[in-house]
Amino acid sequence: MNKIYNPQPENWSEILKRPTQSFNDIEETVKGIFKEIQQKGDQAVIKYTSLFDGITLDNFTVTNEEIQTATTLVSDELKEAIAIAKDNIFKFHNAQQTSKIEIETTEGVQCWQEKRPISKVGLYIPGGSAPLFSTVLMLAIPAKIAGCNDIILCTPPNKEGKINPAILYAAQLCGVTKIYKTGGIQAIGAMTYGTASIDKVYKIFGPGNQFVTVAKQFASQQGVAIDMPAGPSELLVFADETANPSFVASDLLSQAEHGKDSQVILVTTSKNILNDVETEIYKQLEKLPRKEIAQVAISNSNLIFVDNDTLALDLINEYGPEHFIICAKNENYFVEKIENAGSVFIGNYTPESAGDYASGTNHTLPTNGYSKSYSGVNLDSFQKAMTFQKISKKGIQNIGKSIEIMAEAEGLQAHKNAVTLRLNELNKA
Ligand SMILES: NC(=O)c1ccc[n+]([C@@H]2O[C@H](COP(=O)([O-])OP(=O)(O)OC[C@H]3O[C@@H](n4cnc5c(N)ncnc54)[C@H](O)[C@@H]3O)[C@@H](O)[C@H]2O)c1
Ligand SMILES: N[C@H](CO)Cc1c[nH]c[nH+]1
Ligand SMILES: [Zn+2]
28-40: pLDDT as tens digits: 999 999 999 999 9
How many angstroms is it from 231 CA to the middle of ligand 3?
Answer: 12
> Has residue 396 got a pLDDT over 80?
yes
**Closest residue (by CA) to atom 6 of ligand 2?**
356
**Closest residue (by CA) to atom 4 of ligand 2?**
233
Q: What is the mean pLDDT of residues 348-372?
A: 98
Please check whether residue 42 lies inside any domain of the structure.
yes
Question: Which of 233, 364, 367 for a ligand 2 pocket mutation test, highest count of atoms within 8 Å of Cβ?
Answer: 233
Quick one: which atom of ligand 1 is closest to the CA of 258?
A: 43
pLDDT at position 347: 98
Domain co-membership, 248 together with 319: yes
Mean pLDDT, the chain, whole residue set: 97
Q: Which of 253, 278, 266 is nearest to 315 (CA)?
A: 266
pLDDT at position 234: 97
363 lines ligand 2 (CB under 6 A): yes
pLDDT in tens, 367-391: 999 999 999 999 999 999 999 999 9
pLDDT at position 224: 98
For the CA atoms of 52, 54, 55, 56, what is the dihedral angle to 10 degrees?
70
Q: What is the mean pLDDT of residues 173-193?
A: 98
For residue 403, give the CATH number of its domain. Answer: 1.20.5.1300
Look up the domain containing 422 and give its range: 392-428
pLDDT confidence tier of residue 275, bands split at 50, 70 and 90: very high
214 lines ligand 2 (CB under 6 A): no
Q: Is 28 a catalytic residue?
A: no
Please check whether residue 155 lies inside any domain of the structure.
yes
| Rounded-to-integer distance, Cα 361 and Cα 338, Å | 18
- The stretches of 41-132 forming alpha helices (DSSP H) are 42-53, 64-73, 76-94
How many angstroms is it from 155 CA to the middle of ligand 1?
Answer: 10
pLDDT confidence tier of residue 21, bands split at 50, 70 and 90: confident
Question: Which of 356, 361, 365 for a ligand 2 pocket mutation test, highest count of atoms within 8 Å of Cβ?
Answer: 356
pLDDT at position 302: 97
Domain co-membership, 144 together with 203: yes
Please check whether residue 154 lies inside any domain of the structure.
yes
Q: Is 36 a catalytic residue?
A: no
- What Å distances lie between residue 415 and 19, 46, 109, 376, 398, CA to CA? 53, 52, 18, 40, 17
pLDDT at position 244: 98
Please check whether residue 368 lies inside any domain of the structure.
no
pLDDT confidence tier of residue 24, bands split at 50, 70 and 90: confident
Question: Which of 191, 209, 324, 365 for a ligand 1 pocket mutation test, highest count of atoms within 8 Å of Cβ?
Answer: 209
Q: What is the mean pLDDT of residues 182-203?
A: 98
Domain co-membership, 209 together with 254: no
> Has residue 300 got a pLDDT over 80?
yes
Q: Determine what percent of the chain is predicted with pLDDT higher than 90.
A: 97
Please check whether residue 376 lies inside any domain of the structure.
no
pLDDT at position 23: 84
> Has residue 277 got a pLDDT over 90?
yes
pLDDT at position 1: 87
pLDDT at position 415: 98
**Phi-psi group of 36: left, alpha or beta (phi > 0 → left; psi -120 to 50 → alpha; rest → beta):** alpha
Residue of 234, 322, 352, 363 marked active site: 322
> Has residue 216 got a pLDDT over 90?
yes
How many angstroms is it from 214 CA to the middle of ligand 2?
Answer: 19
Vertex 318: Cα angle to 314 and 321 (nearest 5):
110
How many angstroms is it from 339 CA to the middle of ligand 3?
Answer: 22
| Rounded-to-integer distance, Cα 277 and Cα 299, Å | 15
> Has residue 429 got a pLDDT over 90?
no
Q: What is the mean pLDDT of residues 53-71?
A: 96
356 lines ligand 2 (CB under 6 A): yes
For residue 295, give the CATH number of its domain. Answer: 3.40.50.1980
> Has residue 204 got a pLDDT over 80?
yes
Domain co-membership, 91 together with 209: yes
- Overall number of domains in the chain: 3
> Has residue 293 got a pLDDT over 80?
yes
pLDDT in tens, 125-167: 999 899 999 999 999 999 999 999 999 999 999 999 999 999 9
24 assigned ligand-binding residue: no
**Closest residue (by CA) to atom 5 of ligand 2?**
356
